[in-house]
Amino acid sequence: MHFAQDSDTSGFFPQLAVWHDRPRFRMLFGTLGPLDPTLRAHMERQGVSCLDCGSATRGAYPRGLLRLLEFLKRHRVEILHTHLFDPSAVGLTAGLLARTPARVMTRHYSDYHTRINRPIHVGMDRFCTRLAHRVIAVSQHTADHMIAVENAPPGKVRVVHNGIDFARVRVSSPEAPGRVRAELDIVDKKVVVMAARMHPEKGYEPLLEALPRVRRRIPDLVVLVAGTGPFESRYRALSNLLGLEGGVRFLGFRRDLPDVIAAADLVVLPSLAEAFGLVLVEALYLGVPVVASRVGGIPEIVENEVDGLLVSPGDRDALAGALIRVLGDSVLRDRLAGAGRERVARRFAFDHMVREYERVYDELDHTRERGARTPDSEE
C-alpha cells in the first residue's frame, strides 16, 4: 500500500498504478488529507482500492491514523510504503500498531529540516527512519545527509532516483514550440524557462537579482516563470523593483509544460536546496540545455559542461555569467542541447524506479523468510 498526502501527488501515483507488477503485487492507495475525486476515479479504473483519511489538519491526524490502522488490518497489508513527512509520521505509526510486516518510506526531501533549523522536525525524521524497515532516498545526497547528520543506519537506506514516464514528456506537435512563442509574442527573443513552485529554496531571488546584468548583455532576453506558490506576489514585486517589467513573464501553472520547455533556449533551476530536480530531467530529455545550482541531488542529473552548466547556489554573479555564456554562444548551446537525452532516458525511466522499489520489497521479504535477522534489527 502506498500512503501519501493528498491530491498534490496526482502526477506520481497514477503512474505507479500503471507501472507496478500486477501479477506480483496488489496495489492499494491512501491519502492522509482529502483524496481528490479525479485521482480516486483514475486509481479505481486501474483496479486500485483507495482510502481517504480526510485529515486536512494536524488536529485530525489521530482520526486519520485510526482509519489507516483499520484499513491495514482489514486488507492484511503486507507492505506499507509512505511518502513525505506527515504521511510517514502517521502512516508508519499505524503500520507499527498494525504489525505490518514491511514498512518502507521514501524520503522525497533532503536536508530541508536541518537547513532551516527545525530540531523537532529533524527528530521526527529520525523517528520515521526508526519505524521504517527501509528508507528510499531519492538521491545519493539525501542518503548521505541522512546517514551522516541524522544517524540513519546505513543498512536501512537505499538510493532510488525519482523516475519519469517519458511518454508523458513530449511536445504535443512539431509546431508546438513555435505556437508557444507566437502565443507569448517572443518569436525573436532569447527564452529562458524557470519551472518550479514559487518558494525561496528554488532560488527565485538570486535569479531575479542576476537578471539585470544578464539583460545588459542579452537585451532580447525573456524569462518565462511556469509555476505557482505563496510567494508569487513577492517575486512579482521584486521583478518590478529591479526594472524587469516585460523581461519576466509569470505564466502560472501550465498543462503544456513540455511545449513551453521545448520553446526555450535554456532551462534554469538555481535552487538553494534540491533533493532531486525533476524538471531538469525533463529539460534534458527534451533536448534543452540547463543552468542549475551545484546543490543536493542536481549534480546526479546534470553533467557540468556536458549537458548544462552548474554554479554555486546563491551566487548571483556566477549564475548571471552562466546564463550569458549559454545564451550568447550558439555553438555551446547546440553542443549542450540533446547531449544528456539518452543518459537521462536510461537512468531515470519511471519503470526502472518502480522495479527498484519492488527490489526493496523483495529484499524485505527475503529477510523475513530467512528469519535470521528481522528488518527492525538493522540498526
Question: Would you list the DSSP string of 232-249?
Answer: HHHHHHHHHHTT-BTTEE
Q: Are 30 and 2 in contact (CB under 8 A)?
A: yes
Sequence-distant (6+) residues with CB within 8 A of 231 are 198, 199, 200, 204
Q: Is the pLDDT of residue 368 over 60?
A: yes
Alpha-carbon torsion (352, 19, 36, 255), positive or negative: positive
CA 251 to chain centre: 20
Per-residue pLDDT tens digits for 201-233: 999 999 999 999 999 999 999 999 999 999 999
pLDDT at 117: 87
pLDDT at 116: 85
Q: Where are the domains of the chain?
A: 2-163+349-377, 167-347
> Which pLDDT score, from 0 to 100, does residue 377 have?
47
Q: Which residues of 309-340 are buried (b: 16+ CB within 10 A; e: fewer)?
A: bbbebebbebbbbbbbebbeeeeebeebbebb
List the strands of the sheet with 134-137, edge to edge.
49-52, 28-31, 2-4, 79-83, 102-107, 134-137, 157-159
Asked whether the domain spanning 167-347 has the same topology as the one spanning 2-163+349-377, the reply is: yes
d(CA 155, CA 146): 12
How high is the pLDDT of residue 371? 61
The confidence score (pLDDT) of residue 355 equals: 96
Q: What is the mean pLDDT of residues 115-133?
A: 94
Is the pLDDT score of 322 beyond 70?
A: yes
Q: What is the mean pLDDT of residues 104-129?
A: 92
Residue predicted with more confidence, 131 or 110 = 131
Do the Cβ atoms of 84 and 2 come closer than 8 Å? no
**Which residues have a Cβ under 8 Å from the Cβ of 369 and sit 6 or more positions away?**
none
CATH 3.40.50.2000 is the classification of domain 2-163+349-377: yes
The per-residue pLDDT for range 39-76, each reduced to its tens digit, is: 999 999 999 999 999 999 999 999 999 999 999 999 99
Q: Which superfamily does 167-347 belong to?
A: Glycogen Phosphorylase B; (3.40.50.2000)
Residue 112 and residue 201: Cα distance in Å, rounded? 9
Distance CA 309, CA 355 (A): 31
> How many other CB atoms are there within 10 angstroms of residue 146's CB atom?
23
Q: What are phi and psi of 288, to 5 degrees?
A: -110, 125
pLDDT above 70 (res 9): no
Q: What is the mean pLDDT of the chain?
A: 93
11 or 272, which is more confident: 272
**b/e map 186-224, b = 16+ CB within 10 Å:** beebbbbbbbbebbbbbbbbbbbebbebbbeebeebbbb
Supply the pLDDT for residue 378: 53
pLDDT of residue 370: 63
The Cα 209–Cα 259 span in angstroms is 27
The amino acid occupying position 203 is G
Q: Does position 108 have pLDDT exceeding 70, yes or no? A: yes
The answer, yes or no, to whether residue 8 has pLDDT greater than 60, is no
Residues contacting 133, CB < 8 A, separation 6+: 102, 103, 104, 156, 364, 375, 376, 378
Q: What is the pLDDT of residue 11?
A: 77
Query: At residue 374, does pLDDT exceed 80?
Result: no
Q: Sheet holding 248-250: strands in order across? A: 248-250, 221-226, 190-195, 266-269, 290-293, 308-311
pLDDT class of 168 with cuts at 50, 70, 90? confident
Closest CA to 253 of 47, 10, 30: 10
